Amino acid sequence: MTKICSTSRITGCQFTLFPMSNDFVDIILSTLEEVDTSKVWKETDDVTTCIRGKSIHIFDVTKSIFLHAAKTGEHVAMSGTFSIGCPGDSSGDVYMEESDILMNESNSISMKQQAGCKFSLYPLGREDYMDKIYEQIDLSKNTGVKVSHSHYATRLDGDVNAIFSALQQSFDNVQKVVSHVTMTFTISANSPSNKD
């Protein structure tokens, strides 16, 4: 059974950044200022930041925001949801005509930051959804990150650039064959606790 949810290829990400610091306001605001968001639609309120546009720019901006916050050395976490093909989405407020030149990649790639991430991929409207999920878990093992199982999620450990590359690859691979895909994630860096 194949259902077409939407023909729109607008990608969005709604996320919250959690700096575990007394300076959390400054960290969040300075991070949002340092990252080039000119190729995405962006709206921040008291709960989340939502960005919308081409998939490559959504991942570029999300990764860069996390890296800029983590470079402070403070324990920082980010939790969010990527989505494409949502039947409730519209073509308004998007930057789909932007070029594919990434505005933050040159800065992001130079930032070396270890992190742990858990993600869950949801290919919606497909009876074979588990096959699509398992395919991406297997592919993630070839991206330079440590892949392990977790309840209700897959865990990725390694460099933030490699983690976001694995997330983007998984999301993009599935959205090519499934019209509506969502992916939840939580990533944490500089945590004082031992993950074992």
Question: Measured between alpha carbons, how far is residue 43 from residues 52, 153, 155 in Å?
Answer: 9, 28, 29
CATH of domain 11-87+111-189: 3.30.70.930
Residue 137: what pLDDT?
Answer: 66
pLDDT per residue as tens, the chain (196 positions) = 444 445 668 899 999 999 999 999 999 999 989 999 999 999 999 999 999 999 999 999 999 999 999 999 999 999 999 999 887 666 656 688 889 999 999 999 999 999 999 999 988 876 776 676 667 666 656 678 898 888 999 999 999 999 999 999 999 998 988 888 999 999 999 999 855 5
Q: In this structure, what token pair is assigned to residue 149?
A: 């199982």
Q: In this structure, what token pair is assigned to residue 74?
A: 């403070």
Question: Measured between alpha carbons, how far is residue 14 from residues 7, 22, 48, 129, 132 in Å?
Answer: 20, 24, 6, 23, 23
pTM above 0.85, yes or no: yes
